[in-house]
C-alpha cells in the first residue's frame, strides 16, 4: 500500500518542481527563443506525466499509449513551430 501512495505523491512533487523550473526559466531573463523552447519542453514532460500517471494511460494497451505519446509529441511540435514561425515574422 505504501508504494501505491508514494507514486502519486512523487508525481505531484515532480510536477510542482517542473512548474517552479518553468517560472525560474521565465523570470531568468534569457532570450525569449531559448526560454520559450525550454518552457515548451517542460510543459510537454508535465503533460506526459499527467496522461500516464493520473489518467492511468500507462496501463492502456500499446496502441492507445502510442497514440497518447504521438499526440503529446505533435502538440509540442505544433507549439514550437508556431512560436518560432511567429518569432521570425516579428
- Count the domains in the chain: 1
pLDDT in tens, 49-62: 999 999 989 899 99
Cα–Cα separations (whole angstroms), residue 31 to 14, 23, 36, 40, 84? 26, 15, 8, 14, 13
Stated pTM of the model? 0.82
In the prediction, which pLDDT does 2 show? 62
Cell numbers 502510442 correspond to 66
Instruction: Find out whether 35 and 71 touch, Cβ atoms under 8 Å.
Output: no
Binned at pLDDT 50, 70 and 90, residue 45 comes out as: very high
Residue 28, domain extent = 2-89
Distance of CA 60 to the CA centre of its chain: 19
Question: What's the chain's average pLDDT?
Answer: 89
At 86, list the grid cell.
511567429
Binned at pLDDT 50, 70 and 90, residue 42 comes out as: very high
CA-closest candidate to residue 37, choices 68, 81, 75: 81
Amino acid at each position: 500500500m505504501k508504494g501505491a501512495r508514494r507514486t502519486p505523491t512523487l508525481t505531484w512533487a515532480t510536477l510542482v518542481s517542473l512548474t517552479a523550473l518553468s517560472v525560474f526559466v521565465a523570470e531568468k531573463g534569457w532570450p525569449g527563443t531559448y526560454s520559450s523552447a525550454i518552457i515548451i519542453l517542460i510543459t510537454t514532460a508535465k503533460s506526459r506525466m499527467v496522461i500516464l500517471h493520473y489518467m492511468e494511460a500507462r496501463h492502456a494497451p500499446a496502441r492507445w499509449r502510442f497514440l497518447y505519446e504521438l499526440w503529446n509529441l505533435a502538440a509540442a511540435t505544433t507549439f514550437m513551430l508556431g512560436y518560432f514561425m511567429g518569432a521570425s515574422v516579428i
